[in-house]
Structures are given as C-alpha cells and as structure tokens.
Amino acid sequence: MRPPHFRQRVRAHLKCFDDLEAMLSADAFARACSPPLENDLAPWFAEPRWPSLVGKLMAINVRYKGGHHILPKVDALSEPFGALARSPLFAKSIVELAMKLAPVWKLNGSTEKYLLKQAVRDLLPPEIVERGKSGMLVPVEAWFQGPLLPVARVRLLDGLACAGIFRRDMLERLLAGKIGGLRPRRGVKIWLLLTLEAHLRALGLIV
C-alpha cells in the first residue's frame, strides 16, 4: 500500500491531478496512470540520505519543481536574448548545505525558510522578512475569463479535443467555468492544457 503522503504531495499542487480520471479518455487514463503517478515518489520517501519528512520534500522540490520546472523556464526565457541566468539558491554548495541542516532551521513551526529569514533580518525591513508567502503568479484566471477565452476555446476544442486524449465534454465544462471544488484553479488548468496542445502541435500530432 502506498503511504498517503505520496498522493497528498501530488494533490497539493492543484494542477489537474484530481481531475485526470474525469478529464482523460479511458484509454489515455489507463496509459498515463497505470501504475499510479504518485508511485514515482516512492524512491524519494525511501531515500536514507534524508531521514526527515522535510528533507524528503525538499529533495523532491529541488529535482521536480526546480530542476524540471522553474530552471528550464528561466533558461528558455533568457537564452534567446544572449543572457546566461543564474539562480544562486540552486548552487550545488548551497543545496548541499541546506540538505544537511536540521529540519527546524528550514521549517520552524509554521515559518518556512526560517534560517534564511534570520540571516537577512538585519538587512531587510520587518515587513519584508515577516510577510506571508506569495507566488509569482501569471494572471491566467483573468486572461481566461476575458480576452484569451476565445483563443483557448479554439485551441482546446478544435485542436486538443481531436487528439483523443481528453474528453470533449470535460474540456467544454472547464472552459465554461462549470467545474467544482473550493479552489478550481480554472485558469491554471486551461493554461496547462494550452501548453500541451502547443507541444503536440509542434510535434505534428495535431493540426
């Protein structure tokens, strides 16, 4: 049996994981989710180098969110302009040091990045150090409630739906804003589907 935190970890991102069975065609779901996607996390939770749960989650974030998500996007945006971007907190020495620290220095009560905040407390005003966490969000919710909704409808219903991967009725419900949940994150899900559609189009799998 898979520990429950495997599934909780992938659910926490609110990026379509809970919608996959309803959105994918039966064949696509069987191919994509058998074995279950969360099984990919099993080696990380079994890794003896990181005995604490905080350490294991941090290692997963460094690999997947950092190495496979944020850093490639930074490279893709900077390279066309001849810039070589650097992310100091992803430097090998910094990551190795962070992985050796006790969990309390990284998550102290409900305070994340505890040691980093203490290190810069004499350099930054309290309102910066103590402010709540806030992501650097792209305004996709507003985009797909307004000017980009017609574009999304064409690309998803006339493009992606024809690939046989997603159920057309679920794509229509998503575009119409008729999906449930306390945080449906409709715009983010449409954005993810549009990037998939663009990828498949670039590969010549849809026209």
Return the HEC string of the chain.
CCCHHHHHHHHCCCCCHHHHHHHECHHHHHHHCCCCHHHHHHHHHHCCCCCCHHHHHHHHHHHHHHHHHHHHHHHHHHHHHCCCCCCHHHCHHHHHHHHHCCHHHCEECCEECHHHHHHCCCCCCHHHHCCCCCCCCCCHHHHCCCCCHHHHHHHHHCCHHHHCCECHHHHHHHHCCCCCCCCCCHHHHHHHHHHHHHHHHHCCCCC
- The pair phi, psi for residue 95, each rounded to 5°, is -65, -45
pLDDT band at 65 (very low <50, low <70, confident <90, very high): confident
pLDDT on residue 116? 92
* Residue 2 reports pLDDT greater than 60: no
pLDDT band at 1 (very low <50, low <70, confident <90, very high): very low
* Residue 112 reports pLDDT greater than 60: yes
Provide the mean pLDDT of the chain.
87
* Residue 24 reports pLDDT greater than 70: yes
* Residue 60 reports pLDDT greater than 80: yes
Considering the entire predicted model, what is its pTM? 0.75
Distance CA 184, CA 197 (A): 21
pLDDT on residue 20? 85
* Residue 169 reports pLDDT greater than 70: yes
* Residue 146 reports pLDDT greater than 70: yes
